[in-house]
Structure 1
Amino acid sequence: MKLYVIVSLWALVTITHQIKTQDNCVCEFISSEKPFPYDKLKMMQDSASNCNNLMSPQKAFGLESLLLGLNRRLPQLEDDVEMLEKEDDGELYGVLSLYVIENELTEIQAMIDKLNSSTSEHKRLGDDTAQKLEDVKEKMEELETFDAMQVMKKQQANQRLKRDLDQCRNGGLHPRPQPTKHTEGTCPHGRFLNVTGPRVFTTGEYPGSYKYGAWGRDPKPEEGKESWHWLVMLTSSNIYAHYVRFYSTLSSIIVGVSTPGNVLIHPSNPTTNTIQGPNVVLYGGALYYNCYNKDAVCRFNLTTKSITTLQLPKGTRYNSKANFCHLDECYVFTDLDLITDESGVWVVYTTNQDFGNLVLSKVEEEENQLLSLGQTWRTSFPKSSVTNTFMVCGVLYATRYVDKNLEEIFYSFDTTTGKENLNVGIFIDKMSPNILSLNYSPLDQMLYAYCDSKLVSYEVLFEKRSNFYL
């Protein structure tokens, strides 16, 4: 028998007594090592998870959105006060201007109150989280004493080495794949390079309500409505809507003060020619959307309250038979996607004849205000493998779901050259797992996303873009 085995065993245990019987020998062993406290480890894991939930990026971006709204609203108030000083004749114009300024002050005060409340809440959360992290650190240091073989220390060292190696390979602290190929379409802003942000993140008036919807700005606004923002929420079964809601400024939509309010399409919801699905856009003072229970595009004129319909080609799939999807979920009633760019309104859909592949058509307005289907392009990529589409300067872009934090703009179709690109490689940081509608506004070169009831916007970066933001 090998002696060193006996010595090692003797070092770990103590023989307290022996009882001899006729058939066997019984020994009682007492370990010199303390039992590992698995309950404490589980407690630390729960505490760390709670810290992550408390200090989520959504809370930080909410505060940033409020600051952005104030930054824009205060100069506007100064301009209105200067205008009042110039036109003040003690009569009608002065009274109207005072009324406008009074409303602006009310909205700004609401933003300041919300900002103060958010700041206090963030400070409290920061203090609580700091204390919890300190407690977690102390407990983890206590747990490290059980690592007699220093296995965890070696694993931590290996993880640090691996992280440093990845940073060296990618050339930065936060590596992100860069676009590998640019489309060849012509654009006054230059090439589409990247998407940054979110620039705005808000829960709006109804936090957590109405998962599906859309929001944005009119790329061709009517006079006096240049700063207006619109919102459509699918208020019936997450499928249907019968009104569009307006906000006079970005700060109004952030704090949830709707002025001038709702414009009703029809008193009933749903019914003939009301909204079906979240892929809605506003252009030239009219709302474009998928008509209720039809393979057709509806245009609702906000001034005349009239509705014009555009029948899509025979075989067009509708009523949730050709949705945007990813591996885990399909976004219901997203058969038709209405989108805008510098040239107007487009519709993305698919037909039985195209075997489910993306089809893109230009929506044209005739002199008699009727709608017609303009030039149509057919692609080779299936619509069900896409989560959203949008247009920029005549180029169709499609996104796909990467994970709950990341969306990728991976595909493009250039209507000028007819070329497809499956390797765009632009990534969007998400504030919620699902982007349920996405649209580009050439008015301010922003992407407007509706994400699980949250309103989010992103800045589109171009090669020649001047650095302004309306």
Structure 2
Amino acid sequence: MKRYNVLLLLSSLFHITQQLNQQDRCMCELTNKEKVFPHEILNSVTHEASKCSFKVNPQKSVEIEALHFGLDFRLPQLLQDLSILEKEDDGELYGAVSLQVIENELIEIKNIIERLNKTTQGHQHITEESATQLLHLRDELHELEEYDTLQVEKKRKENLRLKRDLDECKNSNDFNVQPTRQPDGVCPHGKFVNITGPRFYSTGEVPSNHKYGGWGRDPKPASGKKNWYWRVILTVNNIYANNINFYSSLSALTVGAKTPDNALIHAANPTTNTIQGPNVVFYCDALYYNCYNSDRVCRFNITSKAISDLQLPKGTRYNSKGNFCRLDQCYIYTDIDLATDESGVWVIYSTVQNFGNLVLSKIEEGDPPMFGQTWHTSVNKQVVTNTFMACGILYATRYVDKEIEEIFYSFDTLTEVEKFNLGIFINKMCPNINFLNYSPVDKMLHIHCDSYMVSYEVLFE
């Protein structure tokens, strides 16, 4: 009976609903008393901000910085070259060479000044235009904030300020944080954070068919050689070399004006104890390199012309069997890499026992030199394109593309902590880097690639 009553009620309602006409229906109109949000203004602000970001970027300041650095370096060098010419000019061959060096310096300085003036004028125009644009954007953003009736943006800014104050308070009271660097006295610069440049770019005197080699400065130079540069050029099949060239200044290196102190390791090339591969370094008036056709490190003393060697551990890969590599190719005869930093000379290699991963050993000074402590890492040598040392920390690079190389890995010999995500990038001047070494004398990263010598400034905290 109850079910029948329910059905009857529903039937009646349906019948009444059917009888309602359009005029009997109730309609509600919603009125929004708030202002309509101006999406077109927001889109315009976003577009203008993107244009401004494109015009004003960190690369603009890097250009000015590089040009200023070039002037700061070359002007004192020019004064020094003029002073040497005044004191030692013999009126003949020496004077002609010195004048050629000075002429090249003046041309370089003139070019830098012209580029600096042109760049500065361009940047001044961008600055004036961007300042006007930013003022306009600021006014429009203030107008848009009026539509934030729930004060979301205001609260967000307050939260950012509170977070910043909290971080400052935490850092100022955190006395237990241990620095991840070498003790004071070993690395006074602080943490390596970036590189900038290039600062120097030249082929020097190298013929185009001799592409590979190494160059740099002695971190512990002999008396009278503080400003000298050295260079080794692989002359036989771009694999072997038997001599080292010296230059009294960067200007002399640029024009190829060698000093009389160039040293010949052996008349034959290659032969026992001559140079194999591009990974050579110079320290304390001696050249360190991979000995020809062996798993040994040779040390050639420039003064005495004596050669001593260090036998690497059993299982060390050599003769182009444990090279630096990228995905599609390897760099031949780069099995054994030498490096210098504030504390001396290091050797980086790989062994069968460590499954081809990087092994790092310290070379202790002496006559003959000896191996000190050794560290084993967990990064495979063939995923690395090059390595260098700075303040007792090993850094490794990898190939990104023809224009970019990434410093992606570090191993701290003090803490034995490995990091795989450094994200420091090198803007390359040529696709492949076959020599890479850090110079603690001037805090420069020296690179050799396809006949070119390139240097970058290393930035510390």
Which TM-score band (shorter chain)?
0.5 to 0.7
User: What secondary structure is seen at the aligned counterpart in 2 of 1:204?
Assistant: coil
1:372-383 to structure 2, matched below 5 A, reads 372-383=370-381
Which residue of the partner structure matches residue 411 of structure 2? Answer: 413
Deviations 1:233-270 (A, max 9, x none): 11001110000011110011112222236310000000
Which residue of the partner structure matches residue 245 of structure 1? Answer: 245
1:10-25 to structure 2, matched below 5 A, reads none
Which residue of the partner structure matches residue 76 of structure 1? Answer: 80
Contact 1:388-1:400 at 8 Å conserved across structures: yes
Distance in 2 separating the partners of 1:386 and 1:409:
10
Deviations 1:82-102 (A, max 9, x none): 9x5xxxxxxxxx778999777
Distance 1:261 1:301, change over 3 A: closer
1:297-308 to structure 2, matched below 5 A, reads 297-308=297-308
Which residue of the partner structure matches residue 211 of structure 2? Answer: 211
Contact 1:316-1:352 at 8 Å conserved across structures: yes
Shift of 1:68: 6.9
Q: Which runs of 5+ in 1 are unaligned?
A: 1-60, 85-93, 123-181, 464-470
Distance in 2 separating the partners of 1:95 and 1:254:
21
Contact 1:361-1:377 at 8 Å conserved across structures: yes
Deviations 1:23-63 (A, max 9, x none): xxxxxxxxxxxxxxxxxxxxxxxxxxxxxxxxxxxxxx999
Shift of 1:373: 1.0
Match of 2:390 among 383, 389, 392: 392
Which residue of the partner structure matches residue 433 of structure 1? Answer: 431
Amino acid at match of 1:414: D
Shift of 1:365: 2.4
Deviations 1:396-419 (A, max 9, x none): 000000000000000000000000
- RMSD over aligned Cα atoms: 2.9
Contact 1:69-1:250 at 8 Å conserved across structures: no
Which residue of the partner structure matches residue 369 of structure 2? Answer: 371
Contact 2:276-2:333 at 8 Å conserved across structures: yes
Shift of 1:107: 1.6
Contact 2:66-2:197 at 8 Å conserved across structures: no
Shift of 1:438: 0.3
User: What secondary structure is seen at the aligned counterpart in 1 of 2:400?
Assistant: strand
Amino acid at match of 2:80: Q
1:10-409 to structure 2, matched below 5 A, reads 70-77=74-81, 80=84, 84=87, 104-112=98-106, 184-186=180-182, 187-260=187-260, 262-366=262-366, 369-409=367-407
Distance in 1 separating the partners of 2:71 and 2:292:
39
Distance in 1 separating the partners of 2:227 and 2:209:
25
Aligned positions, number: 330
Shift of 1:433: 0.3
Contact 1:228-1:247 at 8 Å conserved across structures: yes
Deviations 1:95-149 (A, max 9, x none): 7899977753342124446788x89xx9xxxxxxxxxxxxxxxxxxxxxxxxxxx
Distance 1:81 1:204, change over 3 A: closer
Q: Which runs of 4+ in 1 moved over 3 A?
A: 61-70, 77-82, 94-106, 110-116
- Radius of gyration: which is bigger? 2
User: What secondary structure is seen at the aligned counterpart in 2 of 1:260?
Assistant: coil
Amino acid at match of 2:320: S
Contact 1:436-1:451 at 8 Å conserved across structures: yes
Which residue of the partner structure matches residue 456 of structure 2? Answer: 458
- Return the TM-score normalized by structure 2: 0.66
Distance 1:183 1:413, change over 3 A: farther
Shift of 1:306: 0.5
Distance 1:430 1:310, change over 3 A: same
Contact 1:405-1:430 at 8 Å conserved across structures: yes
- Return the TM-score normalized by structure 1: 0.65
Distance 1:115 1:281, change over 3 A: same
Distance in 2 separating the partners of 1:288 and 1:340:
10
Distance in 1 separating the partners of 2:443 and 2:71:
20
Of 95-104 and 420-429, the range deviating more from structure 2: 95-104
User: What secondary structure is seen at the aligned counterpart in 2 of 1:104?
Assistant: helix
Distance in 2 separating the partners of 1:96 and 1:425:
53
Distance in 1 separating the partners of 2:444 and 2:406:
16
Distance 1:114 1:460, change over 3 A: closer
Contact 1:65-1:202 at 8 Å conserved across structures: no
Which residue of the partner structure matches residue 134 of structure 1? Answer: none
Contact 1:388-1:437 at 8 Å conserved across structures: yes
Amino acid at match of 1:412: S
Amino acid at match of 2:442: D
Distance in 2 separating the partners of 1:183 and 1:356:
31
Contact 1:80-1:97 at 8 Å conserved across structures: no
Contact 1:399-1:411 at 8 Å conserved across structures: yes
Distance in 2 separating the partners of 1:183 and 1:412:
15
Contact 2:315-2:352 at 8 Å conserved across structures: yes
Amino acid at match of 1:184: T
Distance in 1 separating the partners of 2:344 and 2:250:
23
Distance 1:331 1:65, change over 3 A: farther
Distance 1:114 1:458, change over 3 A: closer
Distance in 2 separating the partners of 1:98 and 1:342:
41
Deviations 1:424-455 (A, max 9, x none): 11000100001101000101110000011100
User: What secondary structure is seen at the aligned counterpart in 1 of 2:321?
Assistant: coil
User: What secondary structure is seen at the aligned counterpart in 1 of 2:399?
Assistant: strand
Amino acid at match of 1:208: S
